[in-house]
Amino acid sequence: MRIAVAVKQVPETKSVKMDPETRTVVRQGVQAIINPLDLYAIEAALRLKESCDAQITALSMGPPQAVNALKEAVAMGIDQAVLISDRAFSGSDTWATSYILAAAIRKLGGFELILCGERATDGDTGQVGPEMAAALGLPVITYVNHIHELRAGTLKISRLVEGGMEKLALRLPGVITVVKEIGEPRLPTFRGKLKAKKLDIPVLNLEILQLDKQLIGLDGSPTRVVKIFRPEIVRRCHLFRAETETQTKAAVEAMLALMNREEVKSA
Amino acid sequence: MLKQPAYQNVTPEIAEALAAIAGKKYVIYHDPENLEAFSHDEIPGTEYRHMPEAVVRPETAREIAEIMKLANREKIPVTPQGAGSGLSGGAVPVRGGIVVSVDRMNKILEIDRKNMMMTVEPGVISNEINECLKEYGLFYAGYPMSLETCFIGGNVAENAGGGKAVKYGVTSRYVLGLEIVTPTGEIVELGGKLVKNVTGYDLVQLMVGSEGTLGFFTKIILKLLPLPKAQADLLGLFETLEQALDIVPQIITGTGITPTSIEFMDKNSVKAACDYLNETIPYENCGAMLLLTFDGPNMEQVENDYEQVGKFIEKHGVQEIYVADNPATTERIWKIRRNIGEAYNIISTRQSGEDLVVPPAEISKMIAALQNITGKYGIMAPCFGHAGDGNIHARLVGPPEWSDDKWKKTLPLILNEIYEKTAELGGMLSGEHGIGHKRKKYMKGFVSEEYLNLLRVIKRGLDPNNIMNPGKIFDFF
């Protein structure tokens, strides 16, 4: 069985700062890591591999340095990696990205299961998994928190939904996106690092994938970012002195009035 | 035998005199609620606490000098205090009197790029030093583990060590000059922006590690290094503690590479921390972990270093090695090391944090003895710390079912046995936390009477009235 895991390289969120002028993320000097939520997809794939004889390929679309994210995945135990990279791909939104990823998966061929993280911590949309499934014409199950069994080409899973859990069966090939509850990701090992260092990671570019230029990059992206802003937090602090009885009384009354105004309901 | 003349109390008149020196706003007096914050450091429990009578928060060396002159005239003890994050009671005013807090003296005075040095005031948070040096491509190599809270003044007073001492040494290596206020209120400059200097006694190094008993540091000149731009960690899982510790001295000699830090954690520490953090690393069959950090000017060099060391330990029976070369993974593996203490706080509050130091090659024997002794008394003793420099943080944890009384009676017996063994191995009572008043009574087991007399001669010479931080390290009389 062949499994594909799609991963994204993102800036390390703890050190991310916003440029107050341009209102965009300052990427300079920020270290790049595997999207933390994609680590769960890698872990899910590795656990499946332990129960069946699977070959896992990690895929990532991004600039040439995204190869480091793929190497990290290999150091965790993934078998192979493919980078999808071309200048023409830059500026792609989730729609165009899904289209390119789907083309790469088709090109590589033969995957029975495609695993994705819930969403990326930078864009935070959670759209690429389902959109890629649509582009591939495959069924998709999102928010998978447990894989029960894989038998005769059918994956039995549960997914977290608001207020409960759904148990579903997915006839492969198909796409799933997983949540944290799937299992704590393992750490990259020293042996894995050495293997990753030697591994030749092929690059799929525009020429190889033969894509319609109208459907990729900025031209192929229907998303328009109209405005980015930081929500302002306004706190109106009132300090009441309660040193004398009169002051205490006045403070209590003022607080009651405030609570009535703000419609604070008694518990 | 000489006896300590009685100290005087801080009267309202003296509080007023303090206000006249530092400003009324910066004197706390007759205000137990606010004084309480200055009555302790970070030793768990209340045993080593003591309330000050007054707190002053001066802004200049001149103000401190005036306070010291007043204190000598009126015979009032003065205890300097930084962030209060110490672990020996060094900043606790055990004789009451005045606490002088340096929290307002928190300016970075100069970054001298040409000399690769900087001048700071004592109340600068150690972490801020490196935050501010980043843009100049420089860094200060002193690295106590509490760097987000502690002050540089306290680091110098305790000669703080920390995790990076294997490669970079301890605080003293980076202190080139000091402006001090002596216990009698003189302002004196020691050392300077000099890499070499033998003009007179090396009083800078006398001051470093003097635990606030010999003088206030009002300006500190620090030596800086080029900032290492890349870092990676290896986490090695070993079957037994002996295996892990035996390999430590061989790592450096066997590879020619000096890691930035070599930390170890025994089975109990690992289990407690991993359980506490819900960490899923397969630690069940592992008897100890080694955490090695490498840093350097670029990732290629760091990678080359950790690969060589990794291959070396692979040959010596490691179960598994994990690699962290980005902030997310680094944080995950260092979390284990940093949360051992927290994890044990949940198990039992009856604890004694030890800071033993032995010659690095004896660390294996020391831990075997520790386990032996604590096992005999039926207490828990997770051992962890700086394997690369022989500094062991054993945490003696009393069983939750013991009574307080039993713990109080048994602990000194256990400590005596442990300290005896430490001394036998050529070790000392404290590697980096200091003596303060917590470990004072155990000094005699480690140093000679002649040594203590030398300390007294120095102290009496500088502080004839025993005004500055009395009751610490050794007895004045």
The domains of chain A are located at 2-215, 235-267
Rounded Cα distance, B474 and B477, in Å = 9
- pLDDT for residue A267: 47
Residue B20 token pair: 């006249």
Per-residue pLDDT of chain B (477 residues; tens, 9 = 90+): 456 778 999 999 999 999 999 999 999 999 999 999 999 998 888 889 999 999 999 999 999 999 999 999 999 999 999 999 999 999 999 999 999 999 999 999 999 999 999 999 999 999 999 999 999 999 999 877 666 789 999 999 999 987 888 899 999 999 999 999 999 999 999 999 999 999 999 999 999 999 999 999 999 999 999 999 999 999 999 999 989 998 998 999 999 999 999 999 999 999 999 999 988 888 888 999 999 999 999 999 999 999 999 999 999 889 999 999 998 899 899 999 888 888 988 888 888 889 999 998 899 899 999 999 999 999 999 999 888 889 998 899 999 899 989 999 999 999 999 999 999 999 999 999 999 999 999 999 999 999 999 999 999 999 999 999 999 999 988
Alpha helices in B315-403 (DSSP H): 327-338, 340-347, 363-377
Asked whether this chain's domains B230-341 and B348-424 adopt the same fold, the reply is yes
Out of B278, B322, B327, the one facing A188 most closely (by C-beta) is B322
Strands B117-120 and B108-112: antiparallel
Q: Are B322 and A194 within 8 A, CB to CB?
A: no
Q: Are B333 and A187 within 8 A, CB to CB?
A: yes
Entry field: residues in chain B = 477
Q: What is the pLDDT of residues A222-247, one digit of tens each?
A: 998 888 777 888 887 878 888 888 88
Q: Are B333 and A190 within 8 A, CB to CB?
A: no
Q: Phi-psi region for residue A200, left (φ > 0), alpha (ψ -120 to 50) or beta?
A: beta
B310 has a chain A CB within 8 A of its CB: yes
By CB atoms closer than 10 A (0-12, 13-18, 19+), residue B301 is: middle
Q: Which residues of B touch A65 (CB under 8 A)?
A: none
Residue A113 token pair: 């299961």
Q: Are B329 and A187 within 8 A, CB to CB?
A: yes
Residue of A10, A43, A68, A193 to mutate when probing chain B, most B C-beta within 10 A: A193
Q: Are A190 and B323 within 8 A, CB to CB?
A: yes
B321 has a chain A CB within 8 A of its CB: yes
CATH number of the domain at B230-341, out of 3.30.70.2190, 3.30.70.330, 3.40.50.12370, 3.40.350.10? Answer: 3.30.70.2190
Rounded Cα distance, B59 and B155, in Å = 19
Segment A201-229 shows an average pLDDT of 92
Q: Which residues of A touch B326 (CB under 8 A)?
A: 12, 31-33, 72
- pLDDT for residue B43: 87
Rounded Cα distance, B430 and B411, in Å = 17
Rounded Cα distance, B191 and B220, in Å = 10
Run of H or E including B273: helix B267-277
Which residue is it, tokens 């990678």?
B303
Rounded Cα distance, B152 and B399, in Å = 36
* B 138-177 residues inside an 8 A Cβ radius of A: none
- pLDDT for residue A23: 67
> B12-103: which CATH architecture?
2-Layer Sandwich (3.30)
Rounded Cα distance, B372 and B330, in Å = 33
Which residue is it, tokens 């930035």?
B260
C-alpha closest to that of B401 among B372, B378, B373: B378
Q: What is the largest CA-CA distance in chain A?
A: 82
Q: Which class would CATH give B108-226?
A: alpha beta
Residue B176 token pair: 């080139």
* Cβ atoms < 10 Å from Cβ of B30: 11
> B348-424: which CATH architecture?
2-Layer Sandwich (3.30)
Q: Give the minimum alpha-carbon distance from A178 to chain B in angstroms, rounded to a whole number.
A: 18
Residue A114 banded pLDDT, cuts 50, 70, 90: very high
Q: Tell me: cis bond preceding A173? Omega within 30 of 0 counts.
A: yes
Q: Where are the domains of chain B?
A: 12-103, 108-226, 230-341, 348-424
pTM of the model: 0.87
Q: Which class would CATH give A2-215?
A: alpha beta
User: Closest chain B residue to A37 measured between Cα atoms?
Assistant: B328
- pLDDT for residue B147: 63
Residue of A180, A187, A197 to mutate when probing chain B, most B C-beta within 10 A: A187
Q: Are B280 and A14 within 8 A, CB to CB?
A: no
Which residue is it, tokens 């935050």?
B131
Question: Which residue would you say has higher pLDDT here, B104 or A251?
Answer: B104
